[in-house]
């Protein structure tokens, strides 16, 4: 194992490039999450766009620096817009993040997620329950590796897997689960990091770390979920090298620990 696969110095570099380059991320996310997601991107120095009109979504996705596809709500217009945006982003060579929210509760949603994955995405962000439904034979990480898709599996500890390597992180706050759309916003942060970092493993680990370290700082300053949101936006905006060095919680960085756990 090399401790240089992912460390605070690399993380700081990704954050600096994100702020310098101001990537525009087109977010096809659920309406409950739109405002918070946009504000999270803005706090980091990125630029959000969110149209889902079938007349213009392909142009927005192709000209953006990254695309987030969040399946949290699939109204007819959003359902029609998703394949148009995904196809346009693929043709333009832009990174695509898929967040298959609640695929375990909807067969049609699960089928759509599998269809998108079959065509190839840059990163799949999922919790373990969603992974079990998408890949019931539990070889999801191996399949994704063959099509060069990075995998982020969120939980008490977060696992990032790409190209035979794994980073396991232990940052975040329980208060995140008490505020809607925090997971959705993380997907947008991951897309922003992919837009400025060529190594998907480093990009994904950086996105998770940036968001979760800011959440820890925000939780220390807040009194509960109501005050967490403004504190989190401020923490993302003010995040600095010292914060990253003091708080980064790398449990493992090296070869995949155990394929059966993914």
Binding-site residues, please?
A: 50, 125, 154, 181
d(CA 207, CA 230): 19
For residue 36, which of 189, 161, 257 has the smallest C-alpha distance?
A: 189
- Which residues are part of a known binding site for substrate? 50, 181
d(CA 37, CA 41): 6
CA distances from 113 to 28, 126, 212, 230 (A): 14, 11, 25, 32
- Which residues are part of a known binding site for ATP? 125, 154
DSSP 151: E
Contacts of 135 (CB under 8 A, 6+ apart): 143
Which residues are 169's β-sheet partners? Answer: 158, 250
């Amino acid at each position: 194992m090399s401790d240089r696969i992912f460390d605070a110095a690399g993380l700081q570099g990704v954050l600096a490039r994100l702020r310098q380059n101001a990537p525009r991320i087109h977010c096809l996310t659920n309406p409950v999450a739109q405002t918070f997601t946009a504000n999270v991107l803005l706090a980091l120095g990125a630029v959000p766009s969110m149209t889902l009109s079938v007349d213009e979504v392909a142009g927005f996705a192709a000209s953006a620096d990254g695309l987030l596809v969040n399946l949290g709500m699939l109204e007819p217009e959003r359902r029609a817009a998703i394949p148009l945006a995904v196809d346009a982003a693929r043709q333009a060579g832009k990174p695509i993040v898929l967040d298959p929210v609640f695929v375990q509760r909807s067969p049609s949603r699960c089928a759509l997620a599998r269809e998108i994955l079959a065509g190839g995405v840059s990163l799949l962000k999922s919790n373990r329950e969603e992974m079990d439904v998408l890949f019931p034979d539990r070889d999801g990480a191996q399949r994704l590796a063959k099509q060069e898709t990075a995998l982020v599996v969120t939980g008490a500890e977060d696992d990032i897997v790409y190209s035979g390597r794994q980073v396991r992180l232990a940052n975040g706050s329980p208060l995140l689960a008490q505020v809607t759309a925090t997971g959705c916003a993380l997907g947008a942060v991951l897309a922003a990091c992919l837009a400025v970092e060529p190594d998907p493993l480093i990009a994904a680990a950086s996105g998770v770390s940036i968001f979760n370290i800011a959440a820890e700082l925000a939780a220390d300053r807040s009194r509960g979920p109501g005050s967490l949101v403004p504190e989190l936006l401020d923490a993302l905006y003010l995040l600095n090298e010292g914060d990253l060095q003091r708080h980064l919680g790398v449990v493992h960085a090296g070869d995949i620990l155990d394929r059966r756990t993914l």
